[in-house]
Chain A
Amino acid sequence: MQEYILKTSDLSVGYDGKPLIHDINIHVQRGKVLTLIGPNGSGKSTILKTLTKYLKTVAGTVYVGDKELDTLSNRDLAKQVSVVLTQRLRTEMMTCEDVVATGRYPHTGRLGILTDEDRRIVSETMAKVNITELKDRDYRRISDGQRQRVLLARAICQQPQIIVLDEPTSYLDVRYKLELLGTMRKLAQEKNIAVVMSLHELDMAERVSDYVMCVKGDTIAHYGSAEEIFKHDLVTDLYDLKDGTYNPLFGCLEMLRVEGEPKAFVLCGGGTGVHTFRSLQKQLVPFATGILSENDIDYQVAKDLAAKVISVPSYTEVSEGALQEAIECLKGCDSLIICTDTFGHGNRRCAELIAFAEKLGKEIIRK
């Protein structure tokens, strides 16, 4: 029997007693990361606000450890759960150290005076999150990335069992995103803290989460491990993707394929064609590509972007049939774009395609 630090049973959340999302059943153990994904306005924040007692539960129960959320006093809850919220923190004449130190609030006495022990924890936490050098800087005069790290340090300083973060990566550039999520992952593991957060970046969500919860409509669309959730159809469906596609292998999104009779033929393989595919898509040129082995990385992207893909099964040689198909296709195109100059045993027939293009008088572009 596993022990869950955060658990909900048939929880309904919403505003003013009106349920927005119902039947939420979350189970999170210590040291694990749960990520909520879903379209804008789907209610991710509403769920997080309910878990932190900011909103009243509409129905069902939230358990923190073995206690019901409603029975915990604000102060006791503060010792268990800390937050990093979406809205910006407003401060007045506070150094970063002051901000971090506010995390000690539930542990201090009547007048909130910090003890030496509190100060030690504050400086230790700042060192862990790599913000020691920001100590005496005014919180209003640091970058968004630094602010988010200060807030994370604040949340850690509270020494909670659970940290709840609402879109912690919103204002961050890639470097800080990686850094923040990396720190969080490490934190969960080392301090044995459960992390519950909402994220917009699917690629990140897959890489840092143990569990993923998809919020859509009035219920939880899916709940499971990262591997179970990040599948093509599931993500497409969750976000109603119409103007592009989701690639589960790379965790990235591609723009919508340009349909129509191919105008260009891209000869590629081994990842050499990906950039050309994207640039043709941007110019709204329908294109064909081939001849790709189905285990080729180009094939993964071509599937989403090319109007026509000529392929052969994995680990097989390019067949005569495939070559003929490619030639037929090439006849309708204006140009041949050659991205690869590697022709080996498997794809030697592709080289023949170049000769055909020359014979047909097609424009040949080498990348």
Chain B
Amino acid sequence: MQKDKRTGRITAALIILFVLMLVLVVLNISIGSYSIPADKIISVFRDGPTAEAESLISTMYAILHQIRLPRLLACLILGGALGLAGFLLQTFFGNPIAGPYVLGISSGAKLTVALTMVFVMQASGGLSSAFTIMAAFVGAMISMGFVLVISQKVSSASMLIVSGVMVGYICSAITDFVVTFASDASIVNLHNWSKGSFSGISWENVQVMAVVVIICSVCTFLMAKPISAYQLGEDYAMNMGVNIKRFRFFLVLLSSLLAATVTAFAGPISFVGIAVPHIVKRVLGTAKPIVVIPGCFLGGAIFCLLCDLIARTVFSPTELSISSVTAIFGAPIVISIMIKRRREA
């Protein structure tokens, strides 16, 4: 009986999350400086491509196709990636306030992307999506390496976070340094991106990020079983038959790759990685990876869709950086987690 009740709750919660995501997708399509009524979305998609140039429907289609849709898909895919990266890192370090941003992984990725942008762009004039991801991945892995070394020296959970934040500051400082000495043209690009933003995403970007994130997400889902064992602690996981070394390797690889992809396209985005797994676990009423993993993807997508909607509409036409919005929602959640943990300990 009890089992059925729990399964029921989990199914219901996942459905609600999915519906919420769809609602936000529609809102993101229709709200903006140029409003596209929700009831017209379908007709715009159907008739837009063939409509006469300069007609209303064709303008709507152009906005939708060139601006809103890629941006929305980026929010969805990268948001999901952030949610998953946060969940993986929290599992890996057994630390509820771990995430790609606080551990300095996003900042590491930002640094290498900035470096390659400045130097390679000056040489060749442009960067391909795949190349940007690669650069970001290298930076993410370097930061992750630092954090791993530190985590072996300090056992305290809060010290780990402090070290991660420090690594993040160092990377940001070097990034600023690079930006200062870069040529004017590249600075304009770098400046927006290095603060975190979903604007200016192209369809080519979306294709590449979709491939990387979907592969990573499927791999993460297939790791649900060993993750569930690892949640009990390394020693127990080992006795349950998990090959710890291989498992840890994949966990680091996947979380870095996910975080790197996000940073490559949208810059560093704070708090989504920390907050989403907690909200999702609360909503689902369980920490079982097999449901939390899809939940985190949905949750991250919802969080980013909502924050991006706020970022670009509240002070329109001025756009806020995405991190300022995510921080307003995310930081209080992190504080509440810390207070709750203190109480439980």
Contacts and interface: CB of A to CB of B under 8 A. Distances in A.
Interface of A: 52-54, 73-79, 81-83, 85, 87, 89-94, 98-99, 102, 105-106, 108, 110-113, 119, 135-136, 140, 158
A136 B2 contact: yes
B202 interface: no
A135 B344 contact: no
A105 B241 contact: yes
B287 A78 contact: no
Contacts of B235: 54, 83, 85, 87
B236 interface: yes
Interface stretch (B13-21, B116-124, B221-229, B326-334): B221-229
A15 to B, nearest CB: 15
A164 B239 CA distance: 10
B64 to A, nearest CB: 38
B243 interface: yes
9 contacts: A74-B238, A79-B241, A82-B239, A83-B236, A83-B239, A92-B231, A94-B287, A105-B240, A112-B225
A356 B281 CA distance: 81
Interface residues of B, number: 26
Given A92-B287, A112-B290, 17 more contacts: A73-B241, A74-B241, A78-B240, A83-B235, A87-B235, A89-B236, A90-B231, A92-B231, A92-B281, A98-B288, A99-B232, A105-B225, A105-B228, A106-B241, A111-B222, A112-B224, A119-B3
Interface in B274-306: 281, 285-288, 290
B166 to A, nearest CB: 26
A359 to B, nearest CB: 68
Nearest to A114: B3
A336 to B, nearest CB: 57
Contacts of A74: 238, 241-243
B233 interface: yes
Contacts of B240: 78, 102, 105-106, 158
Contact of A93 (B94, B238, B286): B286
A87 B94 CA distance: 15
Given A111-B224, A111-B225, A78 B232 contact: no
A87 B285 CA distance: 26
A131 to B, nearest CB: 15
A87 B233 contact: yes
A54 to B, nearest CB: 6
A159 B324 CA distance: 53
Nearest to A89: B232
A76 B94 CA distance: 27
Query: DSSP class of A's interface residues: helix, strand, loop or mixed?
Result: loop
Contacts of A135: 2
Interface in B205-241: 222, 224-225, 228-229, 231-233, 235-236, 238-241
A78 B241 contact: yes
Interface of B: 2-3, 94, 222, 224-225, 228-229, 231-233, 235-236, 238-243, 281, 285-288, 290, 344
Given A74-B242, A78-B239, A83-B239, A89 B290 contact: no
Most chain A Cβ neighbours within 10 Å, of B236, B243, B286: B236
Contacts of B243: 74
A87 B233 CA distance: 9
Contacts, number: 74
Nearest to A93: B287
Contacts of B228: 102, 105, 112
A119 B6 CA distance: 15
Contact of A81 (B236, B239, B281): B239
Contacts of B288: 98
Contacts of A108: 225
Contacts of A99: 232
A91 B231 contact: yes
Contact of A85 (B236, B241, B242): B236
B241 to A, nearest CB: 4
B233 A89 contact: yes
Given A93-B281, A102-B228, A106-B241, A111 B290 contact: yes
Contacts of A136: 2
A38 B2 CA distance: 45
B244 to A, nearest CB: 9
Given A110-B222, A111-B224, A77 B231 contact: no
A112 B225 CA distance: 5
Given A74-B241, A78-B240, A110-B225, A90 B232 contact: yes
Contacts of A112: 224-225, 228, 290
A78 B242 CA distance: 9
A40 to B, nearest CB: 20
A158 B285 CA distance: 26
Given A77-B241, A83-B239, A112-B290, A102 B232 contact: yes
Contacts of A90: 94, 231-233
Given A91-B231, A92-B231, A140 B239 contact: no
A1 to B, nearest CB: 30
Contacts of A76: 241
Contacts of B239: 52, 54, 78, 81-83
Most chain A Cβ neighbours within 10 Å, of B94, B224, B232, B233: B232
Contacts of A110: 222, 225
Nearest to B243: A74
Nearest to A74: B241
A302 B231 CA distance: 54
Contacts of B238: 53-54, 74
B70 to A, nearest CB: 33
A80 to B, nearest CB: 10
Contacts of A98: 288
Nearest to A86: B235
A83 B3 CA distance: 27
A77 B243 CA distance: 12
Nearest to A141: B344
Most chain A Cβ neighbours within 10 Å, of B235, B239, B242: B239
A224 B124 CA distance: 78
A87 B232 CA distance: 11
Nearest to B221: A111
B284 to A, nearest CB: 9
A316 to B, nearest CB: 59
Nearest to B2: A136
A121 to B, nearest CB: 15
